[in-house]
Amino acid sequence: MTGWGQGGPLARRAGHDIDYIALTGTLGMIGAPGTSPPVPANLLGDYAGGSLYLVVGVLAALHHARATGTGQVVDAAIVDGTAHLSTMIHGMLSAGSWQDRRAANLLDGGCPYYGTYETADGGHMAVGALEPRFYDEFVRLLGLDGFADARTDRTRWGDLREAVAARFASRTRAQWTAVFEDTDACVAPVLSLREAPHHPHLAARGTFTDHEGLTQPAPAPRFSATPTAVRGGPARPGADTAAVARDWGVPRLAGPRETQHPAPHRKASP
């Protein structure tokens, strides 16, 4: 797996996640107009567009090899995978249903009932009330019945956004979570990394697991006939150096607790 791919003018150039997603147009889709695009950690390029596409490619190549007896090279480029993730958006752009600017569309923050809002205690709530019945439930629970007809009226979206923001700012995140709990309004609290494992739904599913005193996501997806289990904790720098070196055919390479000493100099025999 590489960032730029095995061919093309940039194939031998250095880069990181942010560079790859910048060139594909996906970074430029994100954020409020008039501000710099926010950095989506390295989830969009390295993981979604990179490693997951590599896994799919390797599995497909293995299937092909078993069926034909012929192997092949999998060229998994982060730029390719990230661009492919935006296939639906490009289709909408071509059809005239997506504007090529930020915060002007249904799913990029332009829509007042698909986005995030700050609460009275500095927390945030996420809103995804796209479909009519979800939207109706959303405005009802928020106490904004006067905006029941504003879902498809873009001329009212500015006023709707202000009203929604004011309502959310009037209570804490916990209070709004209680209001929308067990409803189909498609509203959820924005949790931190440390808060997420303790959410009742994720706890019930075992979405996160503890291993050797460390909390981490459990394996996904799950299979009905194959048990999944965490067999190790997060990798620590240098912890697997010796094992990886052996996999690469290096017979002996010191691990993190070993000290390498140079071999004694031997003169060549006459």
What residues act catalytically? 16, 46
Helices 132-142 and 157-168, axial angle in degrees (round to 10): 50
Cβ(78)–Cβ(6) below 8 Å: no
Q: Are 95 and 88 in contact (CB under 8 A)?
A: no
What is the bridge-based pairing of β-strands 124-128 and 114-118? Answer: antiparallel
Q: What is the 3-state secondary structure (H, E, C) of the chain?
A: CECCCCCCCCCCCCCCHHHHHHHCCCHHHCCCCCCCCCCCCCHHHHHHHHHHHHHHHHHHHHHHHHHHCCCCCCCCEHHHHHHHHCHHHHHHHHHCCCCCCCCCCCCCCCCCCEEEEECCCCCEEEEECCCHHHHHHHHHHHCCHHHCCCCCCHHHHHHHHHHHHHHHCCCCHHHHHHHHCCCCCCEEECCCCCCHHHCHHHHHHCCEEEECCEEEECCCCCCCCCCCCCCCCCCCCCCCHHHHHHHCCCCCCCCCCCCCCCCCCCCCCC
